[in-house]
Amino acid sequence: MDDLMVVTGGAGFIGSNIVRGLNQRGYNNLVVVDNLGNNSEKFANLVDCEIADFIDKQAFVELLEAGYLQNNVRAVFHQGACSDTMELDGRYMMANNFEYSKQLLTACQQARIPFFYASSASVYGSGEVFAEERVYEAPLNVYGYSKFLFDQYVRRRMSSFTAQVVGFRYFNVYGPREQHKGRMASVAFHFYNQYKAQGYINLFKGSHGYGDGCQLRDFIHVDDVVAVNLSCLDDSSRSGIFNLGTGKASSFNDVGLAVVNYFVDGGTTGPLSLAQAQEKGLIRYVDFPAGLEGRYQSFTQANMERLRSAGYGAPFKEVATGVVDYLRVLDQ
């Protein structure tokens, strides 16, 4: 297929998985935009992918101003952002996540090109209702605010758009190609490495009204994230801002236990229970970090009604199976 498509953040976690997903559909005429400056190991995410070109982010900004997207580009998947929720430099965050996104959206609209972009469940903050409505949105950090503000920018302009625009509020995504993210990688990745290194895993003690390891998040496998992105490429009538989780919250204990049972052969007794894993010292608990107080979501669960109503009906991987699928990839 000769359609040229652009994936910003294409060497990153979700971006490189989208590149791979497009390859699997026969799309190889892909332009990856990224900044490898201080994280050159990200290139490894693209080694098994087919792309037509790699453009540094700053060079791409200059090309946008020169009308680059007017040259027969079919779609833009905008995954490029600073995703560090602990980043305190507000100017840097807003330049990367808000101003850059506005510039790219404008260029896509001028060229009448579909624009699929990464938003975040962080826009909901500490609320307990996760539906795509302004009343439920109150981010806790500047990262969440940058995503929230761009969503608001999109909403105000939606009625005047000349081409498809879809924003995905990613919940807790895990899966292959995230090894470069360091402390921002998924808990499944960290638990896997902890167990390999020390023979047990550490979870946070109780906080914000939750017991030890009982904080709840909506964990979604990156394969499902890619599938939803590509389904919107297939359906040009689908525009708007959509939650992208599974619709089911799982505890950190659930993820931890899936990792433990991946390594531990229960024999005839079957998988260990949480109590057994705790008793054997395979799951332990550490103090909740003081630096996360007031900036941490102890509960997330995507309301998936809007995406389902828009026609996406495929099931999502359960944590117990999705985590094991991921660990098998890590072991390769």
pLDDT, one tens digit per residue, over 173-203 is 999 999 999 888 999 999 999 999 999 999 9
pLDDT at 266 over 60: no
Candidates 221, 222, 247, 252; CA nearest to 317 is 221
Percent of the chain with pLDDT over 90: 82
Candidates 155, 165, 147; CA nearest to 97 is 147
Percent of the chain with pLDDT over 70: 95
Candidates 309, 292, 183, 173; CA nearest to 237 is 309
Segment 62-81, tens digit of pLDDT: 999 999 998 889 999 999 88
Q: What is the pLDDT at residue 260? A: 97
* Residue length of the chain: 332
- Do residues 200 and 282 make contact, with C-beta atoms less than 8 angstroms apart? yes
Segment 106-149, tens digit of pLDDT: 999 999 999 999 999 999 998 999 999 999 999 988 999 999 99
> Which tokens sit at 261?
């049972």
What 3-state class would DSSP assign to 170?
strand
Q: How far apart are CA 249 and CA 269, in angstroms?
A: 27
pLDDT confidence band for 267 (50 / 70 / 90): low
For residue 238, which phi and psi values (nearest 5 degrees)?
Answer: -90, 110
Active site amino acids: 143, 181
Q: Which CATH architecture has domain 4-171+220-246+304-316?
A: 3-Layer(aba) Sandwich (3.40)
pTM comes to 0.94
Q: What is the pLDDT at residue 96? A: 87
Instruction: Print burial letters for 49-72: b (CB count within 10 Å at least 16), e (below 16).
Output: bebeebbebeebbebbeeebbeee
